[in-house]
Amino acid sequence: MARQTRSERRARRAAQAESQAAVERTRVRPQMRPVPEAVAGQDDRRRPSGWFIKRFISESWGELQKVEWPGQQQLIQGTVVVLLACLIVGIYLFAADEVFKRLVQHVLLR
């Protein structure tokens, strides 16, 4: 397949832009609904004392009911994984510390 010339590419881009502009002109724009005004006095009433705390606690309890809590076996496996990861990272950090300590003592301080 032969390469397109610059004028052919420009013509192709112009045709694409023209067709896209035609699509944009025919596209139906959604009508915006007017925002209903607040009912007079609705925002003015006061909430009872402690209402927000009770609402927070009830919503939190509802969310806790949705949680799928791990079983004992899954909890043990997760704990073992975390402990092994801590052990591996600890050993790595100890070894790196020893290597750098010897490097500083024998190379840099002599």
pLDDT given for residue 80 in this prediction: 98
pLDDT along the chain (110 residues), means of 10: 81 88 73 63 66 92 93 96 98 97 88
Radius of gyration over alpha carbons of the chain, in Å? 34
Contact 49, 41 (CB under 8 A): no
How far apart CA 89 and CA 82 sit, in angstroms, is: 11
Give the chain's length. Answer: 110
Contact 60, 67 (CB under 8 A): no
pLDDT given for residue 41 in this prediction: 52
pLDDT given for residue 63 in this prediction: 93
pLDDT given for residue 28 in this prediction: 63
